[in-house]
Each structure stands twice: as structure tokens, then as C-alpha cells.
């Protein structure tokens, strides 16, 4: 057994803790700064932020129009601007039109709204294939779209980040904003999944 193979058998949380301790002991990491960063990602950055924006748009037609007309301003109202959300364009999925987001050059992504980008989003295969064969890639990810649904792929960049306003699922009309938020997923806001009714 090699050193790499034995390290793979140690649970990731223990490896992370050991690495943090080693870096702290060597003076390479300030534990206070590290704790502040972890708290930031646990409480202020993540898909819950995007879900709040989507739920508001689903329940407030005026906010929905504003979000689609000027995503940056509508999102700024929530305080979710910063960390790659300086300029956000929002596109809406409907029964006949589907939007999906990719960053073909790297992994530009609205962190403050969606949290850390998933590994598949950064994968070169996703980044190249979703542009060329989006229907096939979405199908492989579990999202089957009818042949008559038009798919548009949006390429994020350092200037513009995209957010998908998912189609609201039937059967959720009586739910409040607060009840809708837990249904809304990061993958749906990237456009690789649908939101299912509870």
C-alpha cells in the first residue's frame, strides 16, 4: 500500500483537520481568519441566497419583472452583491424554453448566490460538451427535456454571471415564500435540474 492509498482511507474531515493543524503550527494559516471564512460560507454565501431570490420572484410578479429586467439591482436589494455577483443577468425557464449556464473558460459562477461551484461545473467535459450537445448532457445529468423545448446555453464570464429563474412547479401555488425556499436547488438555478413539487 502506498502513502497515497493509505491517506485515501482516512476520512476527509480528519485529513482536513490534520492539514489545518499543520498549517496553523507552521504559521501559514491564521485560525481566526480561517474560522471567519468558514462562517462566511456557512451563513452568508450559498444556494439558500439564490433560493430566496427565486422564491420572491415566484410570489411577487413585480419583483419577478425587476429581476428579469435588472438582475443586479434586484439582487442587490438582498445584500447578495459581491464575491462574483457584481453583474448578474437572470433568465427564466418556461414550459417551452430552457436555460443552462456554463463557463467555458474557467468556472465563473455567482458564489454569493449559489455557494461554491460543484465539481461537475468546473469539469472540462461539462464546460465543452454542454455548449455542443446540451440536450444530451442534461439528459445524462437526469434532466429530460421534450424535443420542442428550446435550450439556450449562457456562458458566464468575469463580466457577467448568469442565474436561472427555474420554472415554478405545478402544485406549489398555495405555498408561501418561506415554504418555497427549501424546494429550490442550486442545480435548478444553474439549469441542469428541475424543481419538483413537494
Identify whether 103 is a catalytic site residue. Answer: yes
How many whole angstroms from its chain centre is CA 138?
16
Identify whether 158 is a catalytic site residue. Answer: no
Helices (H), the chain: 3-8, 12-25, 31-43, 47-59, 61-69, 71-76, 111-114, 119-122, 124-132, 134-140, 177-180, 186-190
Contact 166, 188 (CB under 8 A): yes
Identify whether 6 is a catalytic site residue. Answer: no
Contact 74, 147 (CB under 8 A): no
Contact 76, 136 (CB under 8 A): no
Identify whether 176 is a catalytic site residue. Answer: no
Instruction: Give me the catalytic one of 106, 128, 139, 158.
Output: 106
Instruction: Give me the catalytic one of 6, 97, 103, 139.
Output: 103
Distance, CA of 6 to CA of 39 (rounded, Å): 31
Q: Which residues are catalytic?
A: 103, 106-108
Amino acid at each position: 500500500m502506498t502513502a497515497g492509498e493509505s491517506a485515501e482511507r482516512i476520512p476527509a474531515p480528519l485529513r482536513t483537520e490534520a492539514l489545518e493543524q499543520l498549517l496553523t503550527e507552521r504559521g501559514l494559516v491564521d485560525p481566526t481568519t480561517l474560522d471567519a471564512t468558514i462562517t462566511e460560507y456557512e451563513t452568508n454565501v450559498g444556494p439558500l441566497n439564490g433560493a430566496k431570490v427565486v422564491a420572491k420572484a415566484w410570489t411577487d410578479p413585480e419583483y419577478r419583472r425587476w429581476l428579469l429586467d435588472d438582475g443586479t439591482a434586484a439582487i442587490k436589494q438582498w445584500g447578495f452583491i459581491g464575491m462574483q455577483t457584481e453583474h448578474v443577468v437572470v433568465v427564466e425557464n418556461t414550459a417551452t424554453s430552457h436555460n443552462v449556464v456554463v463557463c467555458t473558460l474557467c468556472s465563473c459562477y455567482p458564489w454569493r448566490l449559489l455557494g461554491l461551484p460543484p465539481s461537475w461545473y468546473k469539469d472540462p467535459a461539462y464546460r465543452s460538451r454542454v455548449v455542443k450537445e446540451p440536450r444530451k448532457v442534461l439528459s445524462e445529468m437526469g434532466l429530460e427535456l421534450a424535443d420542442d423545448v428550446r435550450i439556450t446555453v449562457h456562458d458566464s464570464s468575469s463580466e457577467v454571471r448568469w442565474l436561472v429563474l427555474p420554472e415554478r412547479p405545478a402544485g406549489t401555488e398555495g405555498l408561501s415564500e418561506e415554504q418555497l425556499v427549501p424546494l429550490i436547488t442550486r442545480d435548478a438555478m444553474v439549469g441542469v435540474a428541475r424543481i419538483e413539487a413537494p
